[in-house]
Amino acid sequence: MNVLLTYISMTGRNKKIAEYLADYLEKKDVEVTLEQIVDTDAFELPTYDAVIVETYTYNDGEVPDEAKDFYDDLADVDLKRTKFAVLGSSSKAHIHFGRAVDYFTMALNSSNSEQVADSVKIDQDPDEDDFKRVERLGDYVIKSLK
């Protein structure tokens, strides 16, 4: 099973979480491609068994600017054979907490992909419980591919 974990991070939180999740999946013998959303071609997603998208939220509940091309392209990709999960650190200090996680969740559902874990929103820096939620998301992705 090959999984793409693609993330966007401005101040490093989502990078750290993505690296943690990639390590966790690799320890469970999953082949993981870890890359940034700016380097991801949405049209390559059907070549993966599953895609995990990780994003922060910016500007009153928006998808980050640098992720918008990828986000827009999802509307033109058919992902009926690719499962997905979404997560992201954002901040409860802003309105529309983690709204970009919701946008990606909706976009991937609209692309015929099957959501295999509840989307995970993390408030700023992840604590121990958040890392457990991240691991559980990884477990659901693995389970869906067996």
Ligand X SMILES: Cc1cc2nc3c(=O)[nH]c(=O)nc-3n(C[C@H](O)[C@H](O)[C@H](O)COP(=O)(O)O)c2cc1C
Binding region for ligand X (CB under 6 A): 9-14, 56-61, 89-91, 94, 96-99, 124
- Least Å distance, CB 58 to ligand X, is 5
Beta carbons within 8 Å of 16's beta carbon, 6+ residues apart? 9, 126
Q: Name which of 55, 4, 51, 7 is nearest 32 in CA terms.
A: 4
Burial class, 29, CB count within 10 angstroms (exposed 0-12 / middle 13-18 / buried 19+): exposed
- Least Å distance, CB 43 to ligand X, is 25
Give 20 or 116: the residue with its C-beta nearer to ligand X: 20
Q: CB of 54 within 8 A of CB of 87?
A: yes
Give 7 or 84: the residue with its C-beta nearer to ligand X: 7
- Least Å distance, CB 47 to ligand X, is 26
Give 57 or 113: the residue with its C-beta nearer to ligand X: 57
- Least Å distance, CB 32 to ligand X, is 19
The pair of structure tokens assigned to 45 is 């997603």
Give 40 or 82: the residue with its C-beta nearer to ligand X: 40
